[in-house]
Homo-oligomer: A and B are copies of this chain.
Amino acid sequence: MEMELPELKFDGEGLIPAIVQDHENGEVLMLAYMDREALRRTLSSGRTWFWSRSRREYWCKGETSGHRQYVRRIRYDCDGDALLVEVLQVGPACHTGKRSCFFNEIRGARTDLSPESQ
């Protein structure tokens, strides 16, 4: 399938960060990187493809684990340098078995401010 990609800005390594979000409940599941080819495969296959910076190879999420991501919508930001991929997530997104990769919290942040307090 040929497709015109919007004017996206890939970085010096040809990559763009892709935020993956559960399309049902809005939970942010993970962040990974795509290049043009990974994005092309994602668009045409309907499943998420990424470029692994450490392994230097393409990977299709869930191909071995079965924890697949089926694309529901892909958006890009105002600068064209980040993607937001909404998916139907099968099972956990994280290799640790957690639903989301973002399960660790930084403690000690100030969280008591509001518009009224400033």
Contacts and interface: CB of A to CB of B under 8 A. Distances in A.
Say whether chain A's binding surface is mostly helix, strand, loop, or mixed.
loop
A98 B103 CA distance: 29
Interface residues of A, number: 54
Nearest to A32: B82
Copies of this protein in the assembly total 2
Contacts of A26: 25-28
A106 B31 contact: no
In this complex, the member of A70, A106, A110 whose beta carbon has the largest number of chain B beta carbons within 10 angstroms is A106
User: Among A25, A31, A98, A115, which residue has the most Cβ atoms of chain B within 10 A?
Assistant: A31
Given A70-B114, A106-B43, A28 B31 contact: no
